[in-house]
């Protein structure tokens, strides 16, 4: 993949969460929502799957400008074995409004059963009360 690239984040990589420090060298583009519907879940961590189309996913878009930042993100997400980074269309809000393509980390490996909680709104912050450790 050629840099710079846009990454859409929806969980702990967003501002105010535990892994946001990995975005320090990335440029914030804006808040955004996926154009297509996917399914957001929370287990010990948040993940999105393409298996079900429940709602658009809400998050943030960043521009990754250096190899080290991309490597750090891919390492966190264990791309391509645990999460897989794939292009999606997102709708950016605010002054940079419009549709753009960004990469989203999907997880199709985690079993959707047991303590896995669906987030029907598609917005990670909606499910945080029960998951303060994230």
Place of tokens 């891919």: 74
Respond yes or no: is residue 77 known to be catalytic.
yes
Q: Which of 77, 93, 108, 109 is catalytic?
A: 77
According to DSSP, the residues that pair with 40 across neighbouring strands are: 48
- The answer to whether 117 and 42 are in contact (CB under 8 A) is yes
Of residues 39, 45, 18, 12, the one with CA closest to residue 115: 45
Q: Active-site residue numbers?
A: 77
């Amino acid at each position: 993949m050629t840099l710079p690239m846009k990454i859409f984040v929806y969980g702990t990589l967003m501002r105010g969460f535990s892994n946001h420090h990995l975005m320090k060298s990335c440029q914030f583009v804006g808040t955004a929502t996926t154009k297509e519907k996917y399914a957001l879940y929370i287990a010990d961590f948040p993940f999105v799957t393409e298996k079900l189309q429940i709602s658009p996913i809400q998050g943030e878009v960043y521009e990754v400008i250096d190899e080290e930042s991309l490597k750090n993100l891919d390492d966190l997400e264990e791309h391509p074995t645990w999460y897989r980074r794939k292009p999606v269309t997102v709708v950016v809000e605010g002054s940079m409004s419009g549709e753009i393509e960004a990469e989203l980390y999907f997880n199709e490996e985690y079993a959707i059963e047991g303590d896995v909680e669906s987030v029907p709104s598609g917005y990670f912050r909606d499910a945080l009360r029960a998951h303060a450790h994230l």
